[in-house]
Amino acid sequence: MTSETVSHAQLANAIRFLSADAVQKANSGHPGMPLGMADVAAVLFTRFMKFDADQPRWPDRDRFVLSAGHGSMLLYSLGYLLGYRDVTREELENFRQLGHVTAGHPEFGHIQMADTTTGPLGQGITNAVGMALAEKMLAARFGGEVVDHFTYVIAGDGCLMEGVSQEAISLAGHWKLNKLVLLWDDNEICIDGKVSLAQSDDQILRFQASGWNTIAIDGHDPVAIAAALEQARSSDKPTMIACKTTIGKGAPTLAGSEKTHGAPLGDKELAGMRDALGWPYAPFEVPDDILSVWRAAGTRGSAERLQWEKRVDALPADAKVTFVTSLQGRIPEATDAAIDAFKQKMAADTPKVATRKASQMVLEAVVPTIPQIVGGSADLTHSNLTITKDMKSVLPTDFTGNYIHYGVREHGMGSIMNGIALHGGLIPYGGTFMVFSDYCRPSIRMSALMEQRVIYVMTHDSIGLGEDGPTHQPVEHLASLRAMPNLRVFRPADPIETAECWQLALQWTRGPSFLALSRQNLPTVRTYTRENLCQLGGYVLSEPEDGKRDVTILASGSEVELALKSQVLLNAVGIKAAVVSMPCWELFDAQPTTYRKAVLGDGLRIAVEAGSTFGWERYVGLDGAIVGMTSFGASGPADQLYKHFGITAEAVADIAVARLKQNA
């Protein structure tokens, strides 16, 4: 048998058996989906995908998202067959084992073939919408000669059941993302059994109603698969291909059953499958002729990549610099200069503005310096103040803009921003009210897990938003977000701190940043320093003249003003108080012990923040005090709410006096 005589069935069966063997050896995993979608994957990767396994991060490659990430062995089998260097046979044999890249679900950064981390259902398809949107926007800026690729998604019923999928599907149809192709694994099975136990939607009509092109095929017929992909590639809309498949295809007694979804087939079933499909090879063995066809597919795109590199080199000098800089994610030097000038102006003018307004003022200064920045909001643009006068809306008819209107789709916004960041070439930020960070928390978590530079601009950050009441007043949110690994939560106190926090968010390329911004106006409390003090996480804002403290008051955001007023009240009664601003716990905790001890000082410490008191114990200690929220908020003017809940300068001063007397 030669490579010319290798059949489609043999190519697909190579995926099936590598996947089933790995799950069997691990005694853990999900073989059903890889077995069912092997035919689709074989056609897609050997005939349509534009990529180069030797250069896996080639910017103009087609993107592939395995939204149904539980079927990760499909991706790993493809990686090995196509010749990606990091997915070796040893890695397949150590599927789901500690210290190996073949994790239970695909993880971005672990294997080069994974364009995103998938597993939380619905996230992958929504990331893919972000990738397809990024492709459209970059093509509009730099031209189809250097930006011209598709985004393909394999999604299952679980992906489509998750609510975030509708947010993504709706936006993709609205934007007419015609280079987005979704391959639906229509096997009628979910973990509990038949999909009909929980759902009776007509998915084809659903996609059509959202402006998609739809095609229904036999997902095991290579001719039909290829024809559908050809049709999708020429559509003026995004395309959903409904691939009617059998979960666990090839398993002699379990095919079509939910029993193949999330458990090994078993030795007997796997042996029967080898007989039924004519695969007389040992586990993890792929005959040379079959493997050679797959490896040839893995390098098929190298010529296209080389031609693309020549086209990039041929760009006009300025366009080439901007394009390459954007792809590399570098922030121009002019941005730091703009921020420094802004800080000097704020120190001179000392405005009293909400930090959400200060954020907009910072954006007015820096957006013109960063060609790749892309803003947006979940239908709260003029409350979040996330737009500037020179920003232009992204529209279905015009992708040259740099501001995205996500509608009331907070979860979709977060996940689409992840897709934009993963694609490369653009730096996304997006806003909503901070209380609605709950709606996009799974996306924030994925930003952190994947170490993506996504900036969340969350306004109305406390009871200080006032009359909208407890439904809109975030109380526990700061504490819960600070508990998330690899997320930097910034809560600036004034325009200067806001500028410094924005600078840090833009500079940090290994994770997301969360800006918690006030609705109410706050005074400028900082003086100008060339140094970015917020990079320390916490610093002494005001020290007694002789440097000797009786008490240290710690605060963030809007409560720094209260802390400074408390300092005045205490000084008036002979108590020496220092005020520490703590805009970012994560950065403060990363400082040397000696620095942190010097900032926190000896003696009594009191923390004040208009949010949950949870977490401040680590800074004030067992003898300290925390002034904050222990309940939900209420509806009323902000100044009345602060008094009602006892978050005042007087309350802080009274506690300090009482504790010092108690400890005397």
β-strand 403-405 against 455-459: which pairing, if any?
A: unpaired
pLDDT score for 392: 98
Burial 18-48 (b: 16+ CB within 10 A, else e): bbbbbbbbbeebbbbbbbbbbbbbbbbbbeb
Gap between the Cα atoms of 187 and 375, Å rounded: 39
Looking at residue 604, what is its pLDDT? 97
How far is the C-alpha of 355 from the C-alpha of 401, rounded, in Å?
Answer: 26
The pLDDT tens digits for 362-421 are 999 999 999 999 999 999 999 999 999 999 999 999 999 999 999 999 999 999 999 999
Q: Are 244 and 186 in contact (CB under 8 A)?
A: yes
Burial of 157 (0-12, 13-18, 19+ CB in 10 A): buried
Mean pLDDT, residues 265-293: 98
Q: pLDDT of 526-537, one tens digit each?
A: 999 999 999 999
Instruction: Specify the pLDDT at position 298.
Output: 98
**Residue 143, beta-bridge partner list:** none
In sequence order, the β-bridge partners of residue 193 are 190
Q: How much is the pLDDT for 1? A: 42
CB hemisphere CA count around 67 (13 angstroms): 31
Banded pLDDT at 4 (limits 50, 70, 90): confident
- Give me the residue label for tokens 């002979």: 574
* H helix and E strand count, the chain: 26, 18
**CA–CA dist 565, 472 (Å, integer):** 27
Secondary structure class of 642 (helix, strand, coil): helix
Measured distance between the N- and C-terminal CA atoms of the chain, rounded to whole angstroms? 92
Q: Which residues pair with 455 in a beta bridge?
A: 429, 513
Q: Are 132 and 180 within 8 A, CB to CB? A: yes
Sheet with 539-542: strands ordered across: 539-542, 577-581, 551-555, 604-612, 625-629
DSSP H or E stretch at residue 608:
strand 604-612
Is the distance from CB of 591 to CB of 537 less than 8 angstroms? Answer: yes
Assess contact for 452 and 512: CB atoms under 8 A: yes
DSSP state of 612: E
CA dihedral 445, 440, 426, 453 (to 10 degrees): -30
Distance (Å, rounded) from C-alpha 595 to C-alpha 348? 29
CB within 8 Å of 417: residues ≥ 6 apart: 130, 376, 428, 429, 430, 443, 447, 454
The pLDDT score that the predictor gives to residue 495 is 98
Query: 173 is written with which tokens?
Result: 């149809």
Convert the pLDDT of each residue in 221-268 to its tens digit.
Answer: 999 999 999 999 999 999 999 999 999 999 999 999 999 999 999 999
Instruction: Scan for tokens 């007997």, then name that residue.
Output: 268
The catalytic residues are: 410
Q: What per-residue confidence (pLDDT) applies to 547? A: 82
Token pair listed for 410: 């907070």
DSSP letter at 524 equals -
Identify the residue whose tokens are 């007087």.
Answer: 650
pLDDT score, position 3 = 58
Structure tokens at 265: 């087939």
pLDDT higher than 90, residue 114: yes
Give CB contacts under 8 A, 24+ apart, made by 317-326: 319/142, 322/142, 322/371, 323/142, 323/146, 325/371, 325/372, 326/138, 326/371, 326/372, 326/425, 326/426
Question: In this structure, what DSSP letter does residue 526 have?
Answer: P
Structure tokens at 197: 């136990």
Q: CA-CA distance, 460 to 472, in Å (whole number)?
A: 8
* Sign of the torsion formed by the C-alpha atoms of 172, 377, 422 and 438: negative
- Nearest Cα to 45, choosing from 86, 70, 80? 80
Tokens 């979940």 locate to 378
The residues that bridge with 194 in the sheet, in sequence order, are 189
pLDDT, mean over the chain: 97
What is the helix (H) or strand (E) element at residue 16, kind and residue range?
A: helix 8-26
> Residues 6 or more apart from 245 whose CB is under 8 A from it?
36, 37, 39, 40, 185, 186, 187, 219, 220
Taking residues 325-344, report their average pLDDT.
97
Q: What value does the mean pLDDT take over residues 446-470?
A: 98
Pairing of strands 180-186, 151-155: parallel
At residue 545, the pLDDT reads 86
Confidence class for position 546, pLDDT limits 50, 70, 90: confident
d(CA 518, CA 493): 9
Residue type, 440: C
Picking from 130, 168, 156, 132, the residue whose alpha carbon sits closest to that of residue 74 is: 156
Could you give the CA distance from residue 459 to residue 514 in angstroms, rounded to a whole number? 10
